[in-house]
Amino acid sequence: MGRWPGGTQERLQEAAIELFTERGYERTTVAEIATRAGMTERTFYNHFADKREVLFPEQDSFIAKVREAVGAAPAEQPPLDAVSAAFIAGSDWFDQRQEAAQRRRRILDAHPDLREREWTKLAALGEAITAALRTRGIPDPAATLTAAVSVAAYQLAAARWLADPRHGTLGHHLHTSFEDLHRTARSW
């Protein structure tokens, strides 16, 4: 058990988001984050690989969930539909955290370092989907291309959802984004 009753990572994440919003990402040191969370800089690095990682919690488990959901889809379902359904199945989790997602996005957009990390997370998502599609029997290059375009549609949906969260759930935007994708693909 740790010294603090509540989760240590959550404390650090909250402290980080607070400070990043107050002073900005670059003008906040890891030591300051740790101090506000009531611990030491070294402890921060015991929980996060680096300063950026504090803004990407649970990304790995999200990716794992998507991979599982794609793998568990009905065998006869077309690959793109399987991915779309997998995204939609996990979208409730985000809908319940829209406000936090907005704060996070505002920080991310303001700092190239953080967007850089976001791109690698999306790349990891793409590779996970590729792997899941391959185990479904989809051969390359279809698996790679389908995964890449799925991530693009996912990004599109997330952007729309965050642009105006009252306009619909993430699931709704995912649905329309993948519809847009079908429509666009027909023109290729």
Residues that bind DNA (CB under 7 A): 1-4, 8, 28-31, 34, 38-43, 45-47, 49-52
Which residues within the stretch 127-146 sit at the binding site for a copy of itself (CB under 8 A)? 141-142, 144-146
Q: CB-wise, 47 or 67, nearer to DNA?
A: 47
119 binds a copy of itself (CB under 8 A): yes
Mapped onto helix, strand or coil, the DSSP state of residue 152 is helix
User: Which residues does 99 contact at the CB level (< 8 Å), separation at least 6?
Assistant: none
CB atoms within 10 A of CB 134: 15
Tell me which DSSP letter residue 138 carries.
Answer: P
Write each residue from 74 to 113 as x if it is in contact with a copy of itself (CB under 8 A), else as -, in one continuous string.
----xxx-------------------------------x-
Task: Name the one residue in this structure whose structure tokens are 């967007």.
Answer: 115
Widest Cα–Cα separation across the chain: 59
Residue 16 CB, nearest approach to DNA (Å): 10
Q: Which helix (H) or strand (E) segment is 52 a member of? A: none
Q: CB-wise, 97 or 167, nearer to a copy of itself?
A: 167
